[in-house]
Structure 1
Amino acid sequence: MPEKIINGDAENNDGKDALLENNSKNDGQDLLWKHSLKQILAACIAHCLVIQAGINMTFSAVLLPQLNADDSDIVIDLHQASWIASCVTAALPLGSLIIGPLMDKFGRKNMCMFTTVPFAISWSLHIFATNVWFIYVARIVAGFGAGLSTVGLVYVSEISHPKYRPMLLTFNSVGVTLGILITCVLGYGLHWTSMVKIFLALVVVTGIGVYFLPESPYWLMVFKNDKKKLADSLQWLYPETNIFIQQYDRIVYSTYKEEDSQIKSKLQHMKENLLFCKSPIVWKPLAILLIIFIFQQFSSAYVIVFYAVDIFKRIGAGFKHIGFIDEYVALILLGGVRFLMAIILAMISKRVGRRLLMFISSVGMIITSFALALLMQLTENTHETGLMNVDGTVAIVLVLAYICFSSFGWLVIPWTLIGELLPVKVRGVLGGLLISIVYILMFLLVKVAPFLMESVSLVSIFYGLSVINLVGFAFLYKFLPETLGKTFEDIATFFDEKIRR
């Protein structure tokens, strides 16, 4: 089948426009579940990379108490503990910055395989650690790997049919939250040295799984112009002949101008790439994504997760009267909420648009943050012990609800939009640059949060969050396009008036 199609496709320019038009009409047809199972499997395997990222976010919460125990072979002080917790976050931007050029040069699948290497090295260093410096290096390498793992989003966005792309991209959040939940659960009964062996085995299994996946068809066409491998990749993803032909034609004919271009000098390529980056289909989505991520970080949902126990304690005496909740239970509860919401989001995202999900997330965060601030303010003005007990319980529920609503949109969808809004040609480089900026901002906010909570009351902070979320909602309403069921060509048309004409 691939040979027949290759021999008769782009070599003949006659009828291209007709085929493109026909393809556009047919692309919206329903793709049955039985025809999409392979791409769903590929997406799940690729998203196993971010399970490791989720593990590394919470591993220090289990590791540090055990290192501080009297029977620990590695003795640490408070200063060393803070470095163990933070150095993994500091290393994230480096990995996400370099993954863009690497995935463009060597391929999406190959870099997914390469991403498992730093994780494997990190857990191996943990296994053989004899002093704190082993752990420092292991954590830095793990953070670098977590930055590289963003290649999974790009890979999944390019192997997915438009009908299933929104759902498959949200699996990324399922993977992260699953990693958080696994770490919290294992931390209850296992020593950290046993845990890292399990994590190493998981990395090895993931690498083997990625090896059997096809390369991204878009990368094969845009960066390699290899129609033979393109056909092989698509035939793996779409075993049904009619759908395979439809997807093959759409990718080939949507990029035929790049196929027919002559070999140019590096300087000419640089000029063309710079000119391309100035086009509306690049700078507009890039600007929208950057502003959305700024609102995401300043909504402080990540900060609340990092400092959940401390925030619970600061809310008031009510926390002390919920006997079954301690620090570990609170952490598992938050992880469970995020994991549950990630699964729900994945199930409904195939039918519910990005805009609506983000709107629901924004409205929920506005209400819960404002209600929490108002509740704490009222609590500060009363000295009735009974009311304090009730308020503490309600306040904790509101914090969990805030995380719940943030996990329904703001914490998940902006990451998936990178793989949908940015053009394929610059998705790797600009996506990596954007994620690096976001990680740097996240690191700064997490670092400054304790000092902010010491100098500003939680009432003022949550009132401020309600205002930030309200402005974020207004921005989404004005500028965020809907991507549900849209091809990359449809999305480019939204941003460029010349294409619409």
Structure 2
Amino acid sequence: MKLLMKLKKSIEEGSCNSALAAICAHSVSISIGICQGYSAILLPQLKESENYKDLTQDETSWIASLGTITNPIGSILSGLMAEYIGRKRAIQITALPLILGWMCFGLAQNVNWLYAGRLVTGIAAGMSPACYTYVGEISSSQNRGFMQTLGPICASLGILLTYTLGYLLHWATVAYISIGFAIFSTVVMQLVPESPSYLLKNDRQAEGFTNLLWFRGNNALAQQEIDRFYKNQKEANDRNMSLMEMYFGPQTVKPFLILVGLFALQEFSGIYTLLFYAVNFFEDSDLNFNEYIASIIVGAIRFSMSVVIAYLINIYGRKILCTASSIGMAVTMSAVAIYVKYYEIHSDQEKIFTSLPLIGIMLNVAFSMVGMLPIPWVMVGEMFPLKVRPIMSGVVVSIAQLLIFICVKIYNDMNNVLNFSGTLFVFVVSSVLSAVYCMTILTETKNKTLEEIEAHFRGSIRISDKTAELHVVKIDNKSLENKGLDNVAFNHSSEDIKNVKDRTDTVSVKVAT
């Protein structure tokens, strides 16, 4: 009965439509996941190929890292296109570099074709800001976290598909199959409306209201959001902020610095290094286990945990999940690093507990998916003010992907200089620093509207880690269920309360702390 009630409520509030649109938008992340995982199946197959068996270590590192060096180009392009031609069209255009890049792989005759394929698909892999901006704007504050985690879920699915197909098929065949996913995303995005925020920002009020009504399924909710949008716009106009103040004011600079710091710790904790070198990583670990099967298992764990985080993110805050994730990553990678270091020193001894590195890496991947891998991407779409959101999201993502390129490119060099165990200890230190950073600096955005987040960074209000909802069964002057909260400030006027009298409704409240 409760499940049916929740389903009915979701349909009435348009949550089903929003979820459908979010799935369509984030379906492009399947292709992005394929791009990210492709080098992990490509490099081992090239070693066994007659035409490419003489590739040097430097050439293989370039093949892996070139898939990230052009990511910033895609991020900036995606941000600009989302700003000037719309979020929906920016997502659809991602298919063009994907198709061109996969064709380069399928038709490859020498290593230069492989370089070209990695560079072009790298542009597409960087075009995620439009997806996160779109989903952030069509979601309500209550379900935005869940909607945004659909991106990491789809990316994890793409990675798992890549590892599995790479075990079964030739890398060129995998490239041709990947074209189908790019086309699929373009087609399904045609079925959903443009972001209402984009339309309202461009003075297309009628169309914006129609689209918002489709997403919310309720005239009152849609009108309430329209009114809040214009109230926020009026306040911004009253402040008469110049373009310089908008981009360099605290409402933009603070989230920019927080996100860049978070992404830097994410990259140097080894999350993406393991992703791009999965099969080689297990070879370096000297496992008595098929490296391809090990990578598929890790891909399956990553996908499973990405589904778990979609559930957890609406229960726990971003700070709690990222902190717990970082601590778990530090502990699990420490176990692997100590094990590897011991046998580097005592190389003459026969190894025991040979499965420990595999178990440690699997747990490390699981903990990374609890927070530190997906949540920075989730927060990109919700931290910036509307006027700068697409472009600043593109800037932050481009910096994050530049850091990924650096980490992937220097992986082999780090192993040569520090030994494999030394590289693992770098990941451990980064994870420890990440835990401290998330506890002390990261801002909580759970259940906050985009307007509240902007006001917080601007210094207009202080948002706390505590939020609540007031569930009103029958609203009158005497009957209100408070759920034991003190010092409650209603977000609704007495007129709003009067309008929902004698019907079940949910009124959001803010808890002063």
**Residues 405-444 of structure 1 mapped to structure 2, 5 A cutoff:** 405-444=367-406
Question: 2:233 is matched with which residue: 232, 249, 255?
Answer: 255
Question: 1:331 is matched with which residue: 295, 301, 306?
Answer: 295
TM-superposed CA distance for 1:427, in Å, is: 1.5
CA contact (8 A) 1:31 1:163 kept: no
Which stretches in structure 2 are left out of the alignment for 5+ residues? Answer: 1-5, 464-513
2:218 pairs with 1:240? yes
Structure 1 residues 378 and 64: CA distance shift in structure 2, 3 A: closer
TM-superposed CA distance for 1:95, in Å, is: 1.0
Instruction: Report the TM-score, using the length of structure 1 for normalisation.
Output: 0.83
Paired residue type of 2:256: L
CA contact (8 A) 1:281 1:423 kept: yes
**Residues 164-313 of structure 1 mapped to structure 2, 5 A cutoff:** 164-222=143-201, 224-257=202-235, 272-313=242-283
CA contact (8 A) 2:44 2:279 kept: no
Distance 2:64 2:437 in 1: 34
Distance 2:341 2:427 in 1: 15
What do the CA deviations read for 1:236-273 (whole angstroms, capped 9, x no partner)?
21223333233332223322346799xxxxxxx9x811
Instruction: State the partner residue of 1:153.
Output: 132
Distance 1:61 1:378 in 2: 27
Instruction: State the partner residue of 2:324.
Output: 360
Identity %: 31
Structure 1 residues 461 and 336: CA distance shift in structure 2, 3 A: same
What do the CA deviations read for 1:280-330 (whole angstroms, capped 9, x no partner)?
2111111111111111112122123333444444445xx22xxxx212112
TM-superposed CA distance for 1:466, in Å, is: 3.1
TM-superposed CA distance for 1:180, in Å, is: 0.8
What do the CA deviations read for 1:65-96 (whole angstroms, capped 9, x no partner)?
555656x7x66741565544332222111111
Paired residue type of 1:60: S
Instruction: State the partner residue of 2:475.
Output: none
Structure 1 residues 383 and 289: CA distance shift in structure 2, 3 A: closer
Aligned-partner SS, 1:421: coil
What do the CA deviations read for 1:7-51 (whole angstroms, capped 9, x no partner)?
xxxxxxxxxxxxxxxxxxxxxx99932230111011111111111
Distance 1:331 1:186 in 2: 12
Distance 2:116 2:425 in 1: 40
Aligned-partner SS, 1:422: coil
Distance 1:489 1:358 in 2: 23
Distance 1:133 1:306 in 2: 19
What do the CA deviations read for 1:345-372 (whole angstroms, capped 9, x no partner)?
1122122211111121012122223333
Which stretches in structure 1 are left out of the alignment for 5+ residues? Answer: 1-28, 262-268
TM-superposed CA distance for 1:173, in Å, is: 0.7
Runs of 4+ in 1 over 6 A off after TM superposition: 381-384
RMSD over aligned Cα atoms: 2.8
Instruction: State the partner residue of 1:454.
Output: 416
Question: 1:32 is matched with which residue: 9, 19, 27?
Answer: 9
Structure 1 residues 459 and 118: CA distance shift in structure 2, 3 A: closer
Paired residue type of 1:187: G
2:136 pairs with 1:136? no
Instruction: Report the TM-score, using the length of structure 2 for normalisation.
Output: 0.81
Paired residue type of 1:255: Q
Distance 2:404 2:153 in 1: 20
Q: How many residues align?
A: 454
Question: 2:427 is matched with which residue: 454, 465, 472?
Answer: 465
Structure 1 residues 423 and 372: CA distance shift in structure 2, 3 A: same
Structure 1 residues 134 and 459: CA distance shift in structure 2, 3 A: closer
Aligned-partner SS, 1:281: helix
Structure 1 residues 311 and 200: CA distance shift in structure 2, 3 A: closer
Aligned-partner SS, 1:477: helix
Instruction: State the partner residue of 2:39.
Output: 60
Distance 2:449 2:385 in 1: 11
Paired residue type of 2:387: K
CA contact (8 A) 2:40 2:279 kept: no
Distance 2:267 2:294 in 1: 22
Q: Which has the higher helix share?
A: 1
CA contact (8 A) 1:39 1:160 kept: yes
Distance 1:198 1:76 in 2: 24
Distance 2:235 2:77 in 1: 28
Instruction: State the partner residue of 1:497.
Output: 459
